[in-house]
Amino acid sequence: MSVEIPPGTDPSQTPLFVNPDGSPPNFDNPPSLKVVTYAVTIILIVTSFLLVLSRLRIHLKVHGKFAYDDYFCFIAWVLATVYGALIIKSTPTARHAWDVPLSAIDASWIKRSAVLATIYGPAMWFAKAAILMMYIRVFHVVRWMRWCCYIGIIFLFCAYWSLVPVSIVYNFPHRPNEHWDLALSLSSIPSQLPFMIMGLVSIVSDLYILILPFPVLLRLHISWKKKVGLGLVFITAAIGIACSCLVFYYRIVVWNNLSKDATWNVAASSLTVAIEINVAVIVSCAPAAAASYKLMAQESRFCSSIVSAVKSSRNLIHLASGSKEEKPNSDVKLTSLKAVGVRS
């Protein structure tokens, strides 16, 4: 793909590409992914933040300290938040290429694209490694499970972190004649191939993470109701598989059709990646979120029992002092005695 700017051309009034149907560019109110990007990204960031907070709270309350998977999950959330903030910042170009002026592809836009490509691999690795490290902590007595998790962590590290040098080589200027301009952006097109391949790796790894705990869960000596509950918690990883498939699809679209509608396809791809990273964080927090819900329910029952005991104690005080209020029946008396711990 090449873009030639004739001398004397005003970049602010010249579209990145010519509209295939011959229509003039619409720089004022064109079709855009801006609203969708804002809504989806903000909802995911807030949701993942609340779940990460819940996860850290329950682990600190139960264990008194954080585990390695907690730290990994938090780092993944930070990177996911940075990624989301950057794509929100790039929404002015989340349009069809024929509605984007050449001036919009400036140095700040190209720098954001370089950062997005660089942090994608580490963000995905921390999120998925957090899940596998949680498996190690929960199923540490199962030897084959530990080894499978270690192998998965090492393989994913090699796969995802390999994208960092690829991004640095293609998306950052290195030669004296290279600058943060459109030419540098065009020269980074070959880097889309390894990112497309990584989309397939993400699908396989999500399937691996989903299937890995089920042989252990099915052999647990617990009721089927609890097995189903645990299965539902872990099967949230299926959402991650759907997101990975969507990312892989858009990676293919970007690789094959970049010259046709570059900015629209890149914006859609970036949005699906933001969804993928945040969903991976959410999946890693699912078991802790379920435990936190149970803890809150227990705390709620405990608080209710205290309130009931206080009320019952007041009734007993009134009875002992010869209150003229209406006397409760024997069932109420028995309930009040039990509430405050009085035994016959």
- pLDDT confidence of residue 8: 62
In a domain, 85, yes or no: yes
- pLDDT confidence of residue 298: 46
What's the predicted TM-score (pTM) here?
Answer: 0.77
In a domain, 149, yes or no: yes
Residues in the chain: 344
Burial (Cβ within 10 Å: 0-12, 13-18, ≥19) of residue 1: exposed
- The string of DSSP letters for 62-76 reads HHSS--HHHHHHHHH
Taking alpha carbons only, the member of 232, 240, 233 closest to residue 207 is 240
Q: How far is CA 233 from CA 24, 151, 213, 228, 291, in A?
A: 51, 23, 11, 9, 10
In a domain, 316, yes or no: no
pLDDT tens, residue order, the chain (344 aa): 444 555 666 777 888 888 888 888 888 888 899 999 999 999 999 999 998 988 888 878 777 888 888 899 999 999 999 999 999 998 888 998 888 888 888 889 999 999 999 999 999 999 999 989 988 888 888 889 899 999 999 999 999 999 999 999 998 988 888 888 878 877 787 888 898 899 899 999 989 988 888 888 777 666 666 656 566 666 667 777 888 898 898 888 888 765 578 888 889 889 999 998 998 898 888 765 554 444 444 444 433 444 454 455 445 445 555 544 444 444 444 444 343 343 33
Q: How far is CA 329 from CA 287, 310, 335, 336, 337, in A?
A: 45, 18, 10, 11, 13
Domain hosting 91: range is 13-300
In a domain, 313, yes or no: no
3-class state of residue 179 by DSSP: coil
> What is the domain count for the chain?
1
Block residue for tokens 């530990």: 146
Residue 305: which H helix or E strand, with range?
A: helix 262-320
Count of alpha carbons within 13 angstroms of residue 52, beta-carbon side: 24
Is 219 in contact with 138 (CB distance < 8 Å)?
no
In a domain, 102, yes or no: yes
Encoded tokens for 201: 């790796």
List Cβ neighbours of 147 (8 Å cut-off, separation of 6 or more).
none
- pLDDT confidence of residue 261: 81
Residue type (1 letter), 296: M
In a domain, 8, yes or no: no
User: b/e map of 110-145 (b: 16 or more CB within 10 Å)?
Assistant: bebbbebbbbbbbbbbbbbbbbbbbbbbebeebeeb
Is 312 in contact with 333 (CB distance < 8 Å)?
no
Say how far apart CA 63 and CA 57 lie, in whole Å.
Answer: 10
In a domain, 135, yes or no: yes
- CATH number for the domain harbouring residue 192: 1.20.1070
In a domain, 7, yes or no: no
